[in-house]
Chains A and B, each alone.
Chain A
């Protein structure tokens, strides 16, 4: 059951991410970590919900949010979720090059998302003078959305590191779990974003 490097890379099990004990442990441990992350983000969402009307004479969400950009960002991140699904599909078919290609597209879409978010934040700061010191709403907004952005940044660094490290060798039972846990992480980021665009932006426009 050890991660034997001599295992023929031409013959891979159907779910290479869970073929070794180490892979199984990683898979479970990472899901548990995501359970903890759920509480982490819930605490931030709760803080945001409690403080979303506490604008203290500063700008309100309704005044500053532009839904066009948020829609583009949503599409970028949703699509990147699909591309990482394709990557895992090719991983399970033991097609390393296609997997790298689809993960590459995922990374590009993620960079697009991150760039949009940076643009959005600078826009709020320069146009409206809306910072995390403006009001309790400002603090809660930047804490929640920024924490998510931080997760995207970390995820991109992780993915690029993985892709570069493994570029010159093929899929094996040692790196397959690493790719798979990344894909779980990336979907989870998308799950959080679904709630962010719903609770922060759309409900902010409604309220």
Chain B
């Protein structure tokens, strides 16, 4: 099984390697490219939306197509871009940060990725098969139950498959972080990114089942004639809203908590200081996760739950500002007095603080029930959530990519292009979305495909569209940067940033067994401790010995493919009987592959000690 990276391999072998890999570092690559692809797709949809809104009563797209555009933009960005990109970074970094050779469930890890990818493809297949979903990313009933065509069916099946993958990924990270930490790596010595990954996984575990059931009910109402949401048979439309937001609110913390971890690591690395208030940071994360489960109904203030429920949820929502504030101050205090180096990674982190603070403050504004009756369903809300999701999650992903790119791909991203990306994107972002607060306050409703002229909305929308082009330019520069770096980027050494945590103790990119000898951790920021008080490198915690590694497998791909085929069967059995063959055929593929996995012993393989000794240090 010796696969020296220097060996020239055919493209087929390369492809097969990635299709069957269970190595968390390669799965990270897959997540990043899969998520990146969908990010570009969602960005394209956003650009069409902004071009449509550049002037009053524009007729670039029809009302129906506009509905499909904003639905797919939201759904794609959240489920298929932001989350997979974060999962990619987690896969690439967390096992290294905790000193593990692999994740707890390598097979399931790969299954999680393929489920996500096939779910995403399923959702986007709707464009080719008679129209995309058009009921908004929230897919409220009865709009979604009565939406004609198969668009919403693709939404249901695509998200069901992708959601299962995410749930599996969450369980994998939980078990990994609990069981696979290196000797000495106690919980309170874990880097913040590992901590937030852990807490995020908890949120995934408890939030996604509610979505699973919501989608399941919607699927049965649309495809099999049940009456969960059919008021004429006693159904209740509010059930969907509750289930969706019981999932949906933790989901926004799933998007933001990991980047809190990324920024914590970035700030302490580039300020050359220990993270200020480490313990407070950990507990603030836990508190945000805990409170995050009890605030979902603030998305439903105008539904008419009544003053008692609304007040409770408003107070709980405002309470979240406290732990978040703790974090903001800790980041500022980490930089205070530090020896700060400003590069493209740090720029994203610095840009994040004011941007996210604005988003947080508008968040407290919309948390106020009375005021929310004014803001609800206007561009104010659109501005708010783009400030937190773009200003938080996207900035965080960009910071993380610049920070760990050398570790993941062995080359350092170009600094000049990195800075250009940041500045155009940052300026473009504020141009696009800051003005939207005011558009919303002036009464512009979200999700409308046109607006009338001379209502004070013309200039604002024009500015917003211009800003969107700046953002697009920034993204294109970043893509050029990736290609440039891959072709002739500067080769990275093991520790290009004078790092603090374990991932910087091994080669860039790391060997597939990560650590030749598991390191002994002596405290928080283990590498920094060794640099300042020790020999400058980690002390091994074990003698050199055989390393046990999991075997590659093609089954995760096949299991996901089976569900993908079965998804088409579910969608089309409404119209055609032949679709049942897809349904049963697809399920059969999945179940048979699961059975093979269950019944065939798979003990993994060992890398003998002699091979390890032979490899250059």
Q: Using a CB–CB distance below 8 Å, which chain A residues touch chain B? A: 2-3, 5, 21, 24-25, 28-29, 32-33, 35-37, 39-40, 43-44, 46-47, 50-51, 53-56, 132-140, 143, 158, 161-162, 165, 174, 178
Contact = CB atoms under 8 A, between A and B. Distances in A.
B329 interface: no
B206 A56 contact: no
Interface stretch (B49-57, B223-231, B370-378, B509-517): B223-231
A56 B171 contact: no
A2 B546 CA distance: 11
Interface of B: 104-105, 108, 167, 171-172, 174-175, 178-179, 205-210, 212-214, 216-217, 220-221, 224-228, 230, 232-236, 239, 242-243, 246, 548, 595, 598-599, 601, 603-604, 606
Given A136-B235, A136-B236, 8 more contacts: A24-B179, A25-B105, A36-B205, A51-B236, A136-B227, A140-B228, A162-B598, A165-B598
Nearest to A3: B603
Contacts of B243: 43, 47
**Interface-central residue, A2, A29, A37, A138, by most chain B CB under 10 Å:** A29
A174 B167 contact: no
A40 B220 contact: no
A135 B210 CA distance: 22
Nearest to A142: B226
Contact of B179 (A5, A25, A132): A25
Nearest to B178: A28
Nearest to B201: A32
Given A135-B227, A136-B233, A161-B599, A37 B174 contact: no
Contacts of A43: 209-210, 212-214, 243, 246
Q: Which of A25, A134, A139 has the most CB of B within 10 A?
A: A139
Nearest to A52: B234
A47 B235 CA distance: 10
B104 A29 contact: yes
Nearest to B104: A25
A5 B603 CA distance: 9
Contacts of B212: 40, 43
Nearest to A165: B599
14 contacts: A3-B603, A25-B175, A37-B209, A39-B209, A43-B212, A50-B239, A51-B228, A54-B234, A133-B227, A139-B220, A139-B221, A162-B598, A165-B598, A178-B598
A39 B595 CA distance: 26
Contacts of B214: 43
Contacts of A132: 220, 224, 226
Contact of A143 (B104, B172, B178, B220): B220
A133 B225 contact: yes
B208 A36 contact: yes
B205 A44 contact: no
Contact of A39 (B206, B217, B601): B206
B171 A55 contact: no
A21 B102 CA distance: 12
Nearest to B234: A54
Contacts of B220: 132, 139, 143
Contact of A161 (B108, B246, B598): B598
A29 B104 CA distance: 9
Given A51-B234, A139-B220, A143-B220, A133 B226 contact: yes
Which 7 A-B pairs have CB atoms at the shortest separation, nearest pair first? A54-B234, A43-B213, A136-B234, A40-B209, A139-B226, A39-B209, A25-B104
A143 B212 CA distance: 13
B601 A174 contact: yes
A161 B234 contact: no
Contacts of A162: 598
A28 B175 contact: yes
A178 B227 CA distance: 39
Given A50-B239, A51-B234, A39 B228 contact: no
A36 B206 contact: yes
Q: Which of B174, B205, B226, B548 has the most CB of A within 10 A?
A: B226
Contacts of B178: 28
A174 B599 CA distance: 12
Contacts of A25: 104-105, 175, 179
A164 B588 CA distance: 20
A34 B311 CA distance: 33
Nearest to B205: A36
A36 B209 contact: yes
Contacts of A139: 217, 220-221, 226-228, 233, 235
Given A25-B104, A139-B220, A174-B603, A47 B213 contact: yes
Q: Which of A32, A51, A165 has the most CB of B within 10 A?
A: A32
Contact of B210 (A2, A24, A39): A39
B209 A32 contact: no
Contact of B217 (A32, A47, A133, A135): A47
Contacts of B221: 139
A44 B105 CA distance: 29
Nearest to A174: B601
Contact of A51 (B104, B213, B235, B604): B235
A46 B228 CA distance: 12
A33 B206 CA distance: 9
Contact of B233 (A3, A5, A40, A135): A135
Nearest to B172: A29
